[in-house]
Structures are given as C-alpha cells and as structure tokens.
Structure 1
Amino acid sequence: MNKSALLTTFTRRWWGLPFVLALLLMPLASVLSVRLWLPEGYVYLIYLPLAMMIAMLMLFDWAALPGIFAALCWHYFYRYTGPQAMIIITIFMATLVLGWGGYRSQEKTRWGVSFGVLSQVRLRLFWLAFAIPTLFILFFQAVMPVDILPELNSVFARNSFSVHTLLNYQSVLISSIAMVQMFYFLIRILRNPHFFFILKARCKQQFSPTVTLREWLIWGVMLMTSVTMLTQFRHSPDNLLTTEYGIPFLLPLMLWSALRFGYLFTSLSWGGALIVIYQLHHCFMNPLVEPHDLAVISANLLVFTLTILLMSAISTRQRRLLAKAREMALTDPVIGLPNLRALGKDLAASSGSALCFLRIPDLDRLSRTYGLQLRIQYKRSLAVHLQPSLLAGEAVYQLPGFDLVLRLETAGHQSRIERLEARLKDYHLSWDGLPIHPDVGLSYCTVTPPVLHLYELLGEMSAMAEMSLRSGHAENMQQTPNVPVQRQITEKLAILHDVQWALQQGGFRLMAQKIRGVRGDDYYEILLRMVNMHGEQMTPPRFLPVVREFGLTWDVDSQMLDQALAFIQRNREPLPGIRLAVNLFAATLCRPQFVEEIAARLKFHGVEPWQLIIEVEESPMLSDHSWGNRSIAQLRQLGCRVAIDDFGTGYASYSRLKLVQVDMLKIDGSFVRNMLSNSLDYQIIESICVVARLKRMQIVAECVETEENAEALRKLGVDYLQGDAIGAPLPLSELASAQTAASSAVRP
C-alpha cells in the first residue's frame, strides 16, 4: 500500500484519526466548559464535550464511537469510581447511539452535509440539538434515584425540576446548537489544514455582494468593544454595559452579521464570542447572582443563539437563491444559450470585445413550414458547431427571432472572423432527412466598455448583417477606422434626443428660398433647419437620417406643414396668392389617411390647395400600385401640385418615372453646378428636359449660382430656377417684411 492510500485509510478507519482526535479533543472540550458553584452544587454554564462528540459523528459517522468511548474512559475512570464511571459512560454512549441513529435513519446519505443548508436544519435541530441533549439529561435524572452517582458537591441533582437541573439542561442545549459547528470545522482543519482556506473562501462567498471592508471593520470594532465592556471593565451596577444586562446589546450586532455576513461567519463569530463570555463570566456577572436570574440569562442566550443562527441561515439561503435566479436570468430558458443580459455583463467585464452578429432570416420561413422546434434546434446545433472556434470566455448569445451574437476577444479577431465565416458556410442541419442550409448574414465590430447603447448597436449590426446577405461576405461596421462604432451610436442617440426635444419645444425653424418662374409665376421652397437643446443650429444632412431611421418622419413633416400653412394664413394681405413648396419624406406619402389629413389642414387654415406644392424624393415607395403613388394621384386630384425632388441621383430614376405621374421635376444641383464645364452633365440635363416634356412636367433646376447657368437652363426649356443667383434662403418669418421692402424699392 502506498503512502497516500495509507494516509487515507488512517483518516477514515476507527482506529486512526477518529480515535486520536477524540482523545485529544476531550480534554480541550472539558477545559473550555464552564462550571459555576451554587449552594446546591456545581452547574454548567456551557458543556462542550457533548458538542465535540456530535461533531465527531458528523465527520466520521459510526467510526467515531470507539474513539469517543476511549476518551470517556480515560476522562472519567480516574475521576469517579468504577461503577460511577461505567454509568456515566453508558449514558453518553446510549445518548449518542440513539440520537445519531435517529438522525441517520432520516437523513440517510445526506447526513454529512456541511452546516448552513436549510434543508437539514429541521432534522438537525430535532435530533442533534434537542434529542441528544434531552436524552442526555433524562438518562442522568433516571439513574439518580439509584444513588450510585454522587449528589453532594457535584453537577448531578436528584430533583429533575430544580433550577440546578434546568441550568445543566440549558448548558447542553446551547453547546449543541452553537458549538457543534465550531468543533466540526476545527476537526476538518486538523484533518486537512488546507481546509482553512476553503472555509475562508466559503465564508467570503456567503457575504452579501454589497458588503465592504469598511462595513466589516466597523462591525468587528463594535463587537470587540461590546465584549471588552463586558469582560475587561470592573463590574458596576451603575454601568449596565459592564453587567449581565450588557449581553442583549450583542444581539443587534449578531443580527447585523446574520443578515450581511452569512451563516458560516456568523456561527463561528457567535461561538467564539460565547466562549469568551463564558470563560470571563466572573468579570460581568455578580458572584452572588440568584439561580433563577442565572437561568433567565442562560435562557436569553439560548434564544439569542437560535435566533442568530436561523436568521443567518435564512438570509444566506435567500442570497443564494437570488444569485441562482440572477444566473438563470442570464440564460434563455428555451434555447439554452446566454441571453442579452449575459452579453451585457460579459462586455462590461472584458477590456475589449469583437461582436459578430449572425442574421438568419430564412429561419422564419423554415419555422413556419417545419415548426418552431426547427428554429430552436438549428440555433442550438449552430452554437455547438461554432464552439470549437471560440476561446475560453467567448460565447454564442441568443437573440429574439432568428439572430445570434458572438463575443470574441479582440486579439486577432479579423482572421478569426474569416475562419468563422468559412465555418458557417460549411454548416447544415439535417431535419427529417432533409439538409437545412439557410443563408447567414454576418456583421462585426469592436467595442470597449462601457457599452452604453447595446440594443441600438445590435440594431445597427442587424442592418449591416442584412447587407451581408446580399454582398456574400462579412460586413465591418467600422468603415471609418478612427471612429469607434460606440461613438457613432452615441452621437446618433444624442441627435435623436435633440430631434425629440425640437419636436416638443418647437426647435424646428423654417427657411424660405425663392424659386423664380421664367413666366413670372414665382413660389418659395420651405427649407427645414433645427436648433438643438444647446441652441446650436443643425443642418438637415445631420438630423434627417436619424429622423428617417427612428420613424419620426410624420412627426417632423406634420410640424413643417402646420407652420407653413399657418404662415400663409397669417400673411394673406402682404403676400396674396403666395405658393409654398414643402419637402416631405416618401414614407409620409404611404400613410393610408395622408391625403385626408392634408385636406383637413388646408380647410382649417383656409388655404387653397393650389398654394401648396408637395416635394418628395424619388424612392421605391413611389412605384406603381403603392400607397405613395396613390397618394400622389389623390393630392393632384385635390388640387395640390406634386414635384419629385433631386431627380437623377436615385437608382433607376428613368424607369420609375414611367410609373409616376407628377406635375414638376427638380433636377439635382450636382448636375447644374458644372453643366457649362462638363459636357456629360449638360447632356444629362438636356435628356431630363426631353423626358419631362414628354411627360408634360414642369422642370425646376436647383443650385443655379451664376447668370450664365440660368441663361443656359432657359434655353434648354427649364421652367423654374432656384439657387444663390436667384435668392438666398431667409427665415420664413421674415419673408413678408422682405417682400414688402422689395415691393417698395421698385415703386417709382
């Protein structure tokens, strides 16, 4: 037998460590036990040998009994006569066998579970803390009439209902409740010194997560101060803290520990405090204390002990259940993968991460065909398929719907993402014998904590992953390497807050720019500007994409329409017959009741339909049979004019022009600026004019900056000119006064 096996055998067999420890700990337990002399004889304030024996049984089971028997023989045979020692030892052994047998019969294989587990509290309190001490006292009282045990000047009392017997019973109860765990952990440390560090870690683990070193130190100082007041200062009836009345002041401190520091630390602290208090009882307890008063003090300590230990066990269990609930909240219960909460937690704990967004839209169609179970199984098996490519600490996270997210370490993430992309293309799921291989869109970016807007970031990544499905390769969100994606998201959300503030506080400002008609039928285009909450003016290219992305198009358009129509209503006399062109989002035209809303606004402000020109950028939303195209037809039928803005820059503009019938066509300024120096731009403008005349549309040219450009555009048949050469934008509120001043200047 090798050395390790021999050591293991020695620590478990009855003749080994259990036997040796019983012989060593019996004298220690006896020395730490505290007796007090009363007129009727000695009484124990606390009796520790029985607690030590229970702890031995909890660690070594029945193998502890031979050592306990030997220790009892060694301890009692030279203190009492042979018959007396035999009776005392028999009572000890009978008590332990009956109590431990009852406990083992109900706990079965879980008899050795460590302290602090609430599921074991009920049986341990009954068998180990109540049954064994009660049987112990009952057996001694049962043999007292035999007159073998000494009664004079001893701890034994004939009267079972005397204060003497009650005090002995309370001393055994307190030790069985408060001291068993002290001996239990002492024995475990003696058997394996490394267990000290395990116990320390377990105590720390049971602490509340919000406990600080400062709080623990304050508690320790207060406890030491209270114990010092009891044990080191002179007994004085004028100072209750130096008498037995100071003991109840320990209860709030220990309840504080029970609620904040957990069962293990509290039980060990209270056990140590009890040993100190009992050993130095003469410092604070009146030597002439009455037995009845002593019984009350002992009863209070017994109640305190039960309260403290139960409260600490309950609070520890509550924290453990709460921690388990929090851990379960980090996992999707259906898919079994970490969820968004877990992703946020892991991102906060990492110094930097690379996020990969997997978008699998075909799963929606497949789950409708084959059932929801297919989506669940596909995500699970895909996560398992990708796991070999992940490092320790990296994971696949579940998102609602048909998306997944991977968190990678930033070191070498670019090449690893390429390998992941290749691994994704190789994967397929066999479902009812059919290979399921949907397309997977992949986007990625790097982030550093704190990630303040995770949900918005994932939304952006989802859109990029959708683009990946069309491009066939992974899309990097950080097209600008020097601009972190988190900063882009933060700036976008800041602009969103500014837009929301402007909608609520009237931060949108309208500008008006004159559009000159070659036949004298001038009108004005309304240009939108925004002032943010800091008073800074923002240009449309900054805030309009955010308005479009977050679905605030109608909110902005309705405010602009109301302000424009209200201006016409207020200025009927100085500006009779004025026409205003208002730019609207294409999405606004797709509102089912849009035209009815326009008609109601025109009627409310008393504005004729011909005074309102609706401008909208050409878009796929204006295709034939769409809501946008229907709204255009209804607006023209109402009497409003409709213009397509920035024509020539959109995709398939000419083909879409065949499907849309509008009144006006605005040529994008990028062609007009260089038309005299760039023959291609000139030819594009000429072709647009030809197509517009065929469709019987009037033509508007933007960005006319010189008179030479204006003259060339007139020759091409352009009907309206707009730009700096015609007139610079001015606030709409100043348009009436500016028009009046201009009219006065031309009068003779």
Structure 2
Amino acid sequence: MQISAETRNTTKRMIEATVLLFLFYHVFSLLTSSAEVDGFALTFYDLRLPLFTALLVLYGVRAIPALGLLFIYTLNTQSVLQNLTVYSQLLSATISCLIYFISVGSKGAVSFGRYKLRFQRIGWLVVFNSVMFECIHQLILFLFHFDEVLYGDFFTTKNLINTQWVLTSCLTGVPFCYLILRCISNTAWCLRYVNEQSKIILSGSPIIYRILWLCSLIGIMYCLLSTKHIFLLFTGYGLILLLPIMVWGTVTIGHSFIVPIWSAILILLGFHSVGYLNYNYSGSELEKLEPLTTASATILVVSFSLVLSGVLVSSNRSYIKKITRLMQTEYYTGLPNVYALKKSLIDYPGSGLALIHCPELWSLTQTHGLSIRFMFVKSLAAYLLPHLQDNEDIYYQPGYGLYIRLGTPDKKHIQDIYSLVKVYRFSYGKNIFGINSGLTYMQSLPEKYNLLMIVGKLSAVAAESLNSEVPVMVTWDDKECLSVGSNITSNDNIRSELQSAVDNQSFILMAQPIISSRTDSYYHEVLIRIRNKNGKLLFPDAFLPIAAQAGILAQLDMTVIEQTFRFIQSLDESKSESKFSINLAPRTLHHIHFIDQLTMLFKKYQISPHRIIFEIVETDIIDTQVAALKLEKMRSLGCKIAIDDFGTGCSSYSRLEEIDADILKIDGSFIRKILHDDLNHFLVRSFCTVAKIKKMQVVAEFVENEEIKQELIRMGVDWLQGYHTGKPVPIEQVIN
C-alpha cells in the first residue's frame, strides 16, 4: 500500500517534534534554577513550560504524540513530585494553545515578532498559561496530599514569587524556544531570519553605541553575579539598571536579537541569585522573601518592558517599511516606480537601462479610460518578467513607459526583449490589441549621472525606434550631459519669460505689411517677439512649442489680441480704418469662453470687428466641426478669417469644404520655387483657382524679389507679403 505524501510529511513532523522535545527537555531541565527557603521550594527561570507551549504553536496537533511520549517517559525516570510539575505544565500548555488557536486561527503558528498577534500571545500563551499552570499545580498537589510543599492560601508571597517567575519564563521563553525549534526544523527559514536580523542590526545605531551598550551590560552582570557585595550595584539594586540598558538595546539593536540575550541573562540570574540576593540568613519569613519578591517583580517588569518596546519598534519598523514601499511603488499598477529604480541603480552599479515607450496608449486611454493603460502595463510587465535575467527588474512611471534595469545586456538580449514586446497581444474585453512600441536603451550607466536626464534622453529618441522598429542604443558622455542640462535650463528660462510676457502683457508686437497687387491698399500682420532678461529677442519658433506643451496657447492668444486692440485704440483718426491680421492657434478655438472673451475685448476697446483678420493654420485643427462653428461666430461678429500656410497639409482641400473663410494664404515653401519648379508653379495656380471658386482672396507669403512678385500678379494673387514688399517693424512705426 502506497503512503501518501501528506502522511509521510505528517509522520516526519511528528518524529521531528519528538526528537526536539526530548532533546531540549533534558537541556532545559538542567538549566532550571530553584532555591529553598524555610523548607519551601521556589522555582526561578524554568524553560520547560515555554518549550511545551512553543512546540504546540509550531507543530500544532502533530506535537501531541511527542507530549504523550514525554508523559510516559517521565513516569519511570522522575520523582512523583517532579512528575506532577511536568504534568501541570503539559496540561496548562495544551489548554492555553487550544484557546489561543481558537481565537486567532491558523495564522497563530507564524513566527514571533508579528506585532499584530503580540497581544493575543501575551494574553493566552503568557498570562493565562502561567496562571493556569499555578492553579493546576496547586490543585494537583492538594489532590495528591503533598501538604508539605503546599503554601496554604493561594495568594501567598511564595506563590507570588513563583507566579512572577513563571510569567517571566513564558514571556521571554516562548519566543526564545520557538526561535530555536524553527531554526532547527527549517534551515531555509533560519537563513532568511539571520539575514533579516543582520540587516536590522547593521542598519541600527553606530558601532560605538553598540560597544558602549555591551560594556554597560557586562559591567552590570559582573556586579550582579559577583559574591563581593562591595557597594549597592552588587545587590538587587543592579536589577533596576538592567531596564534602561535592555530597552536601549531593544530600540537600537533589535528586539529579536535582545530576546535570546535576555533569556541567557535570566538563566544566569536564576543560578546565581545568592550573588545579588541575601536570603540565606536567620530572620523572619517575610524578611527572607522580600528581596526575592522584589527581584522577581523587577525582572518581570524588565521583561514586559522589553516586549512592549519590541512591539513599538516592530510596529514602527513595519510602518516605515510600508511607507517606503508605497513611496517606491506606482499606485495603480503596483510596479516599482522611478524612486525604486534610482535606489536599485545604486544597489547594482554599472547596470544598463531600457525604456519601452508606447505612445499608442494615449489614444487608447482617451477611448477606454485610464484603466486600459494600467491593465496593459501590468500585463506586459508580468509577460516580460520571466524572460529577464535574475538581476533585472521592471519599473513604471506614468507618462513615460516601462523601464527595465538591465544586468549585463548584449544586443541579442535587447533584441529578444523587443521581439517579445512586438509579438505581445493585450486582451481588453472582446478586443485584442497589438500595441506599437519603441525600445531605447543604454548598455551601462556612467559612474556619475542624472537619472532624470537619462530618462529624458531615452524618451526623446523613442520615436526613432518606433519608426525603424528596431531597438535604439543611446550613448552618453559628460559633454552631452552638459549640453542637455543647458538645453533644459534654456527651456526653463524661456518658459519663465513666456509666462512673464503673458502675465504682464509684455509681448513685443511687430507688424509686417500685406500689400494689394492691384491697388495701394494694405494691412498688417501682427507678429510677436519676447525680449529676455539679457535683452535678446526670442522668436516664435523658440517659445510657441513650449507654450503648446505647457497648454497656455489660448492665454497667449488672448494676451496678443488685447495688446493689439490696445494699440489700435491708441491710433488717431487718420488710422481709423487700418486693418490688422492676428494669428490664432486652433486650440484657442476649443476654449469654451473664447467667443465671449473676444466679444468683451471688442466692446472694451471699441474696436470695429471688420478691422480684424484672424489667421488659422488649418492643418492644426483638431475638431473641424467645433472650429467651423467658432469661426462662423467670429465672421458673424464682422471679423475676417484667413487660412494660413495652405497647402502644407494633406487634408487642405477637404478642410476647405468644411470651413468657410475669407482669405487663403499660400505657404511660402511653394512661392519660393514658382520661377524654377513647374510643379510648384502648377500648385500655386491650382490654389488660386480653388480660392476663386470659394470666393476667397489669395495672399502669397515669402515674396522675396520683384520677379516672384510680378509672376504672382500675373497669376491673379490678390495680396503679397514678404521682405521684398515690406519687412516686419515694431508696431508703433505703423503710425508713420
């Protein structure tokens, strides 16, 4: 008949419990100390009851056969009085553990040090266990008529001394015995425990404090164990000094390390009680028992203080670990974040770093919500982790992507990771997505680096990997690091100057004339500049991309409109019909209060709307329907609308069908080549034809010489703009 694995494991655990019980029963019997006062036996530190309790906690019901064998064994090897003590301990330990497991469940077998179970263990395995043992022991002695060792009334000084020592034994001995038993029965757990405690000890107070603590402890113990009563420290008074010393050790070194030391100290104090307590002299019973009572109470208080200190230290350490874990974890995915990455790069110097960039997630997030982003990231991380090397890990920072800390990467390993990413398919509901991703990496980080700069560099070149569909390696040197740092500083400065110009309405307005090809009529396009703190002019190509990234294009546009209106209001009557063209970002059209704000500005500065032309780049329009509605409202106010940079977008013709405008501005890239390029010449002519069909006037940009000007006139272009017809000047010069 084949024996099941569960049966074999149960049998193994029973045999293991039996061997350990008999081994340590004999050891702890030898270590048990006692004293006789006026014919009555007082037991000091006794680890047998803690041994039985710890065995039941660790092995559960599998320890019952071992305890039964010990019961049978002691029948023929010990005196009746000794047997009654052991039987009382076995019975109280069994009852206490039974009630303990009923109250906490199966989790009660976990290692000591779990502060959440500390109070249940103190209540059932220490206090209840100790009191139960004393009650059962006294009852058995009474039933078996051992009157010579009974103390009469239960509430006597002798029983108090014994009870206090039993409480101390259980309070310190149960976790001590549990630690020994589990370390022997589970080597892997023992190694983890030693490693964990080593980290706690090494991360504690400076070594000088630990040496000072050890010297203080040795000094006090020497005084207590010495038979020379030279001065007060050599008496029971020295026990009081153990309290601050042991609590200090618990806080600075660690409770788990101090408990075995304190147990060893208690064994020594039990065997050498005569050294610090003088009770072998002629006198009354009360005089003899008083120092023993005080000493046992002091030792119990010290033990409870150590336990409570350990509870506080353990709970604080647990909270600190939890807070640290939360700080280093991305909330929605549970993956380590950039702070954890920074720490791991310190722990693993010379590591490489890779970035998996998935810009498609942005569009999917807009469609399905944020949940799809986090589900994809968690799913992809779980998919990749088994394929990484042992010393590699995955990190996530929202807004950037997944980072992989690389161990000893080579190009084949990187290519394998990228291939896995490319073939990965993500299921969301009934849909299956293959999300396009790019991978950039650095094979080895330099000794000195700025992680944020490296992250920015990897993100910046991610588009190259997306387009080429191969991993892109990024190199880094000190000069490049400095140049990137200066660029970041420069962008920050521009952002600051830009915000100042918006807040203070301090843009420098330039005006470039747009002249009629048939009459002397003209109007001006308003161009903007920013003067920085050094007096240098910043052009739009330097600050408009930053404004778009910062999301303040609408604020910028409204500021320029108000500055222009204020200038127009300042003109005299001779310029009352002058017209100005103002550039408007398509994103501004999506601002919910744009039309209301524009109407308010017309009224505030008393500007006739027919004097204002707004130029829109049609290729940047996000929502054509919204834009068309806003543009129609602007035209109803009396403004004119110009389509700027026409021809540069593939959808230009289709947009003209949806958007009504008054002016069509042909992009200068076509105008520059009309004299020498037949295709550009044909395109410009076709643009003019389309504008005529739509009843729109045509403006040609970048008119740089007379030949281009005359050719445009022959083609029927209505308005001309360029350095040949007029350069941009400060808007104040328009007055002249």
Give me the TM-score of the superposition, normalised by structure 2. 0.72
Which shifted more, 611-620 or 352-361?
A: 352-361
Flag the 1:605–1:381 CA change in 2: closer, same or farther, 3 A: closer
Counting aligned pairs with the same residue, the percent is: 22
Question: Matches of 2:570 and 2:374 in 1, distance apart?
Answer: 62
Q: Are 1:95 and 2:88 counterparts?
A: yes
Which shifted more, 517-526 or 238-247?
A: 238-247
Is contact 1:569–1:606 with CA below 8 Å preserved after alignment?
A: yes
How do residues 11-90 of structure 1 correspond to structure 2 at under 5 angstroms? 12=15, 16=19, 18-27=21-30, 29-30=31-32, 33=33, 43-52=42-51, 54-55=53-54, 60-64=63-67, 66-67=69-70, 85-86=79-80, 88-90=81-83
1:53 Cα shift? 5.1
Is contact 1:553–1:588 with CA below 8 Å preserved after alignment?
A: yes
1:181 equivalent among 149, 152, 175: 175
1:526 Cα shift? 1.8
Match of 2:244 in 1: 249
How do residues 243-282 of structure 1 correspond to structure 2 at under 5 angstroms? 243-250=238-245, 252-253=247-248, 256=251, 261=254, 264-272=256-264, 274-275=266-267
Question: Matches of 1:641 and 1:556 in 2, distance apart?
Answer: 20
Flag the 1:669–1:9 CA change in 2: closer, same or farther, 3 A: closer
Count of equivalent residues: 685
Is contact 1:46–1:172 with CA below 8 Å preserved after alignment?
A: yes
1:201 equivalent among 195, 198, 220: 195
Flag the 1:594–1:182 CA change in 2: closer, same or farther, 3 A: closer
AA aligned opposite 2:167: L
3-state secondary structure, aligned to 1:644: strand
Is contact 2:54–2:177 with CA below 8 Å preserved after alignment?
A: yes
1:583 Cα shift? 0.4
Is contact 2:246–2:258 with CA below 8 Å preserved after alignment?
A: no
Is contact 1:227–1:277 with CA below 8 Å preserved after alignment?
A: no
Flag the 1:169–1:681 CA change in 2: closer, same or farther, 3 A: same
Q: Are 1:442 and 2:436 counterparts?
A: yes
Flag the 1:237–1:700 CA change in 2: closer, same or farther, 3 A: same
Match of 1:81 in 2: none
2:511 equivalent among 513, 529, 535: 513
1:600 Cα shift? 1.6
1:406 Cα shift? 9.3
Is contact 2:595–2:630 with CA below 8 Å preserved after alignment?
A: yes
1:353 Cα shift? 2.8
2:126 equivalent among 129, 132, 143: 129
Flag the 1:212–1:547 CA change in 2: closer, same or farther, 3 A: farther
Which shifted more, 157-166 or 663-672?
A: 157-166
1:587 Cα shift? 2.9
Match of 2:160 in 1: 166
Question: Matches of 2:269 and 2:570 in 1, distance apart?
Answer: 91
1:539 Cα shift? 3.6
Which shifted more, 124-133 or 519-528?
A: 124-133
Question: Matches of 1:398 and 1:124 in 2, distance apart?
Answer: 41
1:192 Cα shift? 7.0
Flag the 1:230–1:650 CA change in 2: closer, same or farther, 3 A: same
Say what the alpha-carbon RMSD is for the aligned residues: 5.6
Which shifted more, 661-670 or 704-713?
A: 704-713
How do residues 546-561 of structure 1 correspond to structure 2 at under 5 angstroms? 546-548=546-548, 551-561=551-561
Flag the 1:119–1:380 CA change in 2: closer, same or farther, 3 A: closer
Match of 2:582 in 1: 582
Is contact 1:579–1:611 with CA below 8 Å preserved after alignment?
A: yes
1:607 Cα shift? 1.8
Question: Matches of 1:148 and 1:529 in 2, distance apart?
Answer: 107
Match of 1:570 in 2: 570
AA aligned opposite 1:501: Q
AA aligned opposite 2:113: G
Flag the 1:673–1:379 CA change in 2: closer, same or farther, 3 A: closer
Question: Matches of 2:41 and 2:591 in 1, distance apart?
Answer: 96
How do residues 459-538 of structure 1 correspond to structure 2 at under 5 angstroms? 498=496, 501-502=499-500, 505-506=503-504, 509-518=507-516, 519-530=519-530, 538=538
3-state secondary structure, aligned to 1:704: coil
Flag the 1:511–1:416 CA change in 2: closer, same or farther, 3 A: farther
How do residues 245-394 of structure 1 correspond to structure 2 at under 5 angstroms? 245-250=240-245, 252-253=247-248, 256=251, 261=254, 264-272=256-264, 274-275=266-267, 291-292=289-290, 294-310=292-308, 312-313=310-311, 316=314, 339=333, 341-342=335-336, 344=338, 349=344, 351=351, 352-355=353-356, 357=358
1:739 Cα shift? 4.8
Flag the 1:632–1:495 CA change in 2: closer, same or farther, 3 A: farther
Match of 2:348 in 1: none
Question: Matches of 2:495 and 2:310 in 1, distance apart?
Answer: 48
Question: Matches of 1:362 and 1:674 in 2, distance apart?
Answer: 38
1:231 equivalent among 221, 245, 248: 221
Question: Matches of 1:212 and 1:574 in 2, distance apart?
Answer: 86
Deviations 1:227-254 (A, max 9, x none): 2453346865599998444234236425
Match of 1:746 in 2: none
How do residues 210-221 of structure 1 correspond to structure 2 at under 5 angstroms? 213-215=203-205, 217=207, 220-221=210-211
Gap runs ≥5 in structure 1: 78-84, 744-748
Flag the 1:294–1:247 CA change in 2: closer, same or farther, 3 A: farther
Question: Matches of 1:169 and 1:439 in 2, distance apart?
Answer: 70
AA aligned opposite 1:96: Q
3-state secondary structure, aligned to 2:507: strand
Which shifted more, 227-236 or 281-290?
A: 281-290
AA aligned opposite 1:250: I
1:447 Cα shift? 5.5
Flag the 1:454–1:627 CA change in 2: closer, same or farther, 3 A: farther
Match of 2:5 in 1: none
Question: Matches of 1:515 and 1:394 in 2, distance apart?
Answer: 62
